[in-house]
Chain A
Amino acid sequence: MTMHSDLNPADFADTAQAVMESCRREAAFDGRAALLAESGLLGVLAPETAGGMDLPPAFAVPVLEAAGANLLEYPLAEALLLSQAFGESAEALVAAIVDGTIRPTIAWSGELAAQRGHLARAPFALEASHVLAFQQDGSAILFEAGSRGVKAEAADTLDVTCPEASLVLREAVEGVVLPVDQVAGLRQTGLLLRAALILGHAGECLGLARDYADQREQFGRTLSSNQAIRHRLARQSLSVETIRNAIARALSAGCEDRELAVWSAFLGACDLGATVAEGAIQIHGGMGFTWDVPLHRHLRRIKALAAQGQAAHVADLVAGRLTGTREGGMRHAG
């Protein structure tokens, strides 16, 4: 790992925000990949030998927070995860992820048996060049989306920002295998990166609601001069800080039980993040219920991220840890 003691994750926030704003104006998927690559953000977690910065996951947090806030239409969390997971074993592949020529995604649901099977919850699988699929033996395989026998279809999902696809693999695909012992780590880091995305979505919803409440006047005064609105916004602020602090703790060097801290950061983000987005819609009144106001996009995305991370299953893992029943690994959660 490179020397990064002189770098601070917060230093990445401004750059990430500027890049995400550029991506908002870029209509093409490949164009957004190029913008992300040019900025170096695709290489935050990748080894230096593959053109990356070899930084710990804490540095991905402000990047993904900005991605969420700006409704980035690119599977950035997946690209970062794969650049890290394959960093040691497949340098050329990772270099191509970092420079945007390989634009990978992950099918978060379904498992392959003998490289065949049904996969789902793969964001941008119709646009992506490669897909990582989990396999029944606990490993995962990264294959080309256009491989023979692979059929991808747009899925009917809630999220309108990062549309998911389902895939059917009728023939055995060839690809690069991620060994069993690295899959759990990828899933676990994936939960934290999702929490960071949700932090961005929730923070943006709070900001929109705050600004609206401070400007909108009813009964001769701003909405924000009403205690009911002020307190609602204050609760949303608490929720956003709770997500932020939970992520920070899960990534801190002294975290006592990192697995449980990661599960909790993810579950807290799913629950509190959705509450913030829902609350922001309420504060906007009828405007909040319109297609043009982006709050629903954030809410849909938060719900999609919760589903991709299998929040209900993760909650069951937490309960299992507490009650000593159905203790499971991370095989299916992630």
Chain B
Amino acid sequence: MTNANPKPAEGGQPVDHGAEARRWLDNNLPAVMRTDILQDNDPSIPEFRAWEGAMHEAGLVGITWPVAYGGYGLTLNEHLAVSREIGRTPMQESVNSIGKELAGPIILNIGTEAQKLELLPAILDLRNIWCQGFSEPNAGSDLAGLRTRAELTGDGWRVNGQKIWTSGAAKSQRCLLLARTGKAEDRHRGLVLFAVRLDSPGVTVNEITSIDGKNSFCEVFFNDVIVPESDMLGAPDEGWTAATRVLSIERATNRMHRAWRFENELEHLVTACLGDPATRHLVTTYRRQLAASRVDVELLKGHVETLVASLVAGEEIGPKGSFPKLFWSEAHQRFAALGLEMVSQFPADGSAALKAAKARMEDIYLKSRAETIYAGTTEIQLDIIAKRILKLGRGG
């Protein structure tokens, strides 16, 4: 397989990473990964591994990670150029986005050299799929209230507790686990991060059926699970502090392809409508709303590209990461509602193209309900902006 994202030869012409990515995706996207055609089933884990492994080999994944850890050692600008083309491609989201966009950057930031060498390449080639063990039944947005305990014993850390809303845990090999070493009253103090093996004795994963009828959600129980000290990320206290710093950047940059994916979804909807005499009129009926959605996409690109420029310039993002999160999640819900309303008027005996568009829009609508909840709810983002950007007082 040719590498879509080679580094420029010394003194050679700069590589157009976006164009290379476009060419590679056009030539290699397998039908099973497409979201713009009707599929009987979701791709299997082996199919995900084959596709995402190929993307990694082609240079479309791990773009900014150091070469020593399986990455390509390039900058956020190249990551952005490739992300645009990934977004424009109607394909499944990564099955390992927690690994690539959350665990990976945290490990890069605070992991030991041994951890980096062991864990990072396995994220990129999907040997290790990761899940995020942060939320608990009584600690969702208020993570500092979490109760899962970690005690240091002679064998390592002994972990007891329960996590919930752990997307993808049933197919994961590792869990980015947040636990506490002290009392629940300690709040943000005494929090520790682990890279826990999910095949460890004492780990139980139960699936939860989510709004779309699928079993992507899980609850995970840790019952006297022994985690070796070598799987602790950073020191107690340090891990969480560093992780929150990384998270503020990740909130701004994760799934950077999103704006271009939304553009692709919108264009798919319009193309499907225009392609059938029975639905062509919908484009006229919803002309103004379609234009508003298109503007939303451009405004989201403004958030993403401005933040990337700031990061490349070495500026701190801090609470500004809340702006794109808030904007994309709500803009996508607006589009999703429009898409659903339009496809609900498709004829029952419509063409395969109409059926594919209908299935995709229904899926987007349901999944988009989660987007204002995960990665910090809308309400949490608004609180962050009110407190840390507007610096509103609480006095009176």
Interface residues of A (CB under 8 A from B): 210, 213-214, 217, 220-222, 224-225, 227, 230-231, 233-235, 237-238, 241-242, 244-250, 252, 254-256, 260-261, 263-265, 267-268, 271, 315-316, 318-319, 321-325
Contacts and interface: CB of A to CB of B under 8 A. Distances in A.
Interface in B318-337: 320, 323, 326-327
B294 A322 contact: yes
A146 B393 CA distance: 55
Given A225-B395, A318-B294, A324-B274, A242 B302 contact: yes
Interface string B92-107: 0000000000000000
B334 to A, nearest CB: 12
B301 A316 contact: no
Interface of B: 84, 266-267, 270, 274, 283, 287-288, 290-292, 294-295, 298-299, 301-303, 305-307, 309, 320, 323, 326-327, 379, 381-383, 385-387, 389-390, 392-396
Given A225-B395, A319-B291, A322-B270, A261 B298 contact: yes
B386 A231 contact: yes
Given A237-B389, A248-B306, A230 B382 contact: yes
Contacts of B307: 245
Contacts of B395: 221-222, 225
A198 to B, nearest CB: 14
B290 A225 contact: no
Given A315-B291, A322-B266, A323-B283, A245 B385 contact: no
A237 B294 contact: no
A248 B308 CA distance: 12
Contact of A249 (B267, B305, B393): B305
Contact of A222 (B274, B290, B389, B396): B396
17 contacts: A213-B392, A224-B386, A225-B394, A230-B387, A234-B386, A242-B323, A247-B302, A248-B309, A249-B301, A249-B305, A250-B302, A264-B294, A264-B295, A319-B287, A319-B294, A321-B294, A323-B290
A250 B301 CA distance: 10
Nearest to B292: A315
Given A222-B395, A248-B309, A315-B288, 10 more contacts: A224-B386, A233-B386, A233-B392, A235-B382, A237-B390, A245-B302, A248-B302, A264-B299, A323-B270, A323-B283
B303 A242 contact: yes
Contact of A246 (B298, B381, B390): B298
B288 to A, nearest CB: 7
Given A234-B385, A318-B294, A246 B299 contact: yes
Contacts of A237: 385, 389-390
Given A241-B323, A268-B295, A324-B274, A214 B393 contact: yes
B291 A224 contact: no
B393 A225 contact: yes
Contacts of A233: 386, 390, 392
A230 B392 contact: yes
Contacts of B396: 217, 220-222, 225
